[in-house]
């Protein structure tokens, strides 16, 4: 595969994370030619120029449409606020570009379905910014579950809790607007958890959701006037998986003290598995076999025996970081483009997650369980 030329749209926190990954992937993984950092885009040209110089991009632009339609660009990388994802991704797909997009895929399930179907029709490869499931230990947990190492699965508990909006004095931002952020905690945090849960256990078949806004007003960052928060601070979900395993999701952007509180516990007939992203290089395993007075959780440390850890470090226990997961995510996308095979997670996965968040919102509004099997989601007019 020849070197791919990337156009990166967005220079915020995630744009920086993507730039780090694009610059690093060729060093860490020698199976592919390093991508070319062709153009970085920001609404302010001076900002784009500053980032181009700092991040190693060839050129800077304030015109994202020209980058999407530039014949010299192979991949469009979208790291903008949520409400811009659909338009930018659709423009890139129409231009025949491969697309790498941060989550959520769009603001609505209908938009996400349009992107999923357009990418499939155009034959382009896509990838979503669900980097947490690129953790080698999450892949190990999935392999252990599928191999039956903890026996028959009984119950899944998952959570993603942060405290970035715990203080009611934190200023209003686009994340509090339905027209720009879409759902609140569900879109920002819950999408990661839902994607990871289905990666581990397969499809969620039904949901019962509850959404709560605790801080209903926040001060405008300029005027200081209070503005109405239009989406939820907390989402709580009961669910069932394909083989009727019960589960639950707890999602909050006001969980005081939590910084990256993404985790899960899965209980089975022979043992259990527990993971906490704040201790991302540890996987806890409990075995119910053996003498009762010797039972207890043991900790598995990440190491070179867990793909793709060895590409970063030859010694176990030294640990990976959040940006390393982005490097793995980019590596997987490059492999997808080279082979033509879909990557987990692509736009089909991103659409699925968008439909599930919409189903949770519908369930919360109706106070009833909602069927989330794929046929039900694709044909449910209430979700679009």
- Which pLDDT band, with edges at 50, 70 and 90, does 291 fall under? confident
Stretch(es) of the chain classified as CATH 3.40.50.720: 5-131
- Tens of pLDDT, residue by residue over 143-176, are 999 999 999 999 999 999 999 999 999 999 999 9
Across all residues in the chain, what is the average pLDDT? 97
What is the mean pLDDT of the segment spanning 353-378?
97
Q: What's the confidence (pLDDT) of residue 371? A: 97
- Which pLDDT band, with edges at 50, 70 and 90, does 256 fall under? very high
- C-alpha 353 chain-centroid distance: 9
pLDDT at 1 over 70: no
What is the mean pLDDT of the segment spanning 336-349?
96
Stretch(es) of the chain classified as CATH 3.30.360.10: 132-346+355-363
> 139 by DSSP, 3-state: which?
helix
Q: What's the confidence (pLDDT) of residue 174? A: 97
Q: Which CATH number fits domain 5-131: 3.90.1150.10, 3.40.50.720, 3.20.20.70, 3.30.960.10?
A: 3.40.50.720
What is the mean pLDDT of the segment spanning 352-368?
98
CA distance 213 to 220: 18
- Tens of pLDDT, residue by residue over 24-52, are 999 999 998 999 999 999 999 999 999 99
Q: Which of 95, 87, 98 is nearest to 124 (CA)?
A: 98
CA distance 142 to 47: 41
Q: What's the confidence (pLDDT) of residue 158? A: 98
Quick count: other Cβ atoms within 10 Å of Cβ 267?
A: 17
- Which pLDDT band, with edges at 50, 70 and 90, does 383 fall under? confident
pLDDT at 261 over 70: yes
Q: What's the confidence (pLDDT) of residue 205? A: 97
Q: What's the confidence (pLDDT) of residue 252? A: 98
Q: What's the confidence (pLDDT) of residue 243? A: 80
What is the mean pLDDT of the segment spanning 12-29?
97
Place of tokens 């959570």: 159
What is the mean pLDDT of the segment spanning 66-90?
98
**In CATH, what number does 132-346+355-363 get?**
3.30.360.10
CA distance 162 to 12: 19
């Amino acid at each position: 595969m020849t070197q791919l030329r990337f156009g990166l749209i967005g220079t915020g926190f995630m744009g920086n994370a993507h730039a780090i990954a694009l610059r690093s992937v060729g060093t860490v993984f020698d199976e592919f030619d390093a991508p070319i950092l062709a153009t970085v885009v920001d609404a302010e040209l001076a900002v784009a120029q500053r980032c181009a110089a700092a991040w190693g991009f060839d050129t800077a632009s304030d015109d994202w449409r020209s980058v999407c339609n530039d014949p010299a660009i192979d991949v469009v990388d979208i790291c903008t606020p949520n409400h811009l994802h659909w338009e930018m991704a659709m423009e890139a797909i129409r231009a025949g570009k491969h697309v790498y997009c941060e989550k959520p895929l769009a603001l609505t399930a209908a938009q996400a379905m349009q992107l999923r179907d357009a990418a499939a029709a155009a034959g382009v490869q896509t990838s979503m910014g669900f980097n947490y499931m690129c953790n080698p230990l999450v892949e190990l947990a999935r392999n252990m579950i599928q191999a039956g190492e903890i026996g028959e699965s009984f119950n899944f508990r998952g959570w993603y809790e942060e405290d970035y909006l715990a203080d009611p004095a934190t200023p209003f931002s686009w994340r509090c607007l339905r027209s720009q952020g879409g759902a609140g905690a569900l879109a920002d945090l819950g999408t990661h958890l839902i994607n990871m849960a289905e990666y581990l256990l397969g499809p969620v078949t039904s949901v019962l959701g509850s959404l709560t806004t605790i801080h209903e007003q926040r001060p405008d960052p300029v005027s200081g006037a209070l503005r109405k928060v239009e989406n939820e601070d907390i989402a709580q979900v009961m669910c069932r998986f394909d083989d009727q395993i019960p589960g639950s999701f707890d999602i909050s952007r006001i969980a005081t003290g939590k910084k990256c509180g993404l985790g899960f516990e899965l209980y089975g007939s022979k043992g259990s598995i527990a993971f906490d992203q704040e201790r991302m290089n540890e996987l806890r395993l409990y075995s119910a076999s053996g003498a009762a007075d010797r039972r207890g959780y043991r900790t598995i440390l990440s190491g070179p025996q867990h793909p793709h850890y060895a590409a970063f470090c030859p010694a176990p226990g030294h640990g990976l970081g959040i940006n390393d997961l982005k490097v793995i995510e980019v590596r997987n996308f490059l492999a997808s483009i080279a082979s033509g095979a879909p990557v987990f997670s692509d736009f089909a996965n991103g659409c699925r997650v968008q439909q599930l968040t919409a189903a949770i919102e519908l369930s919360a509004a109706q106070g009833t369980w909602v069927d989330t099997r794929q046929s039900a989601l694709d044909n449910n007019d209430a979700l679009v």
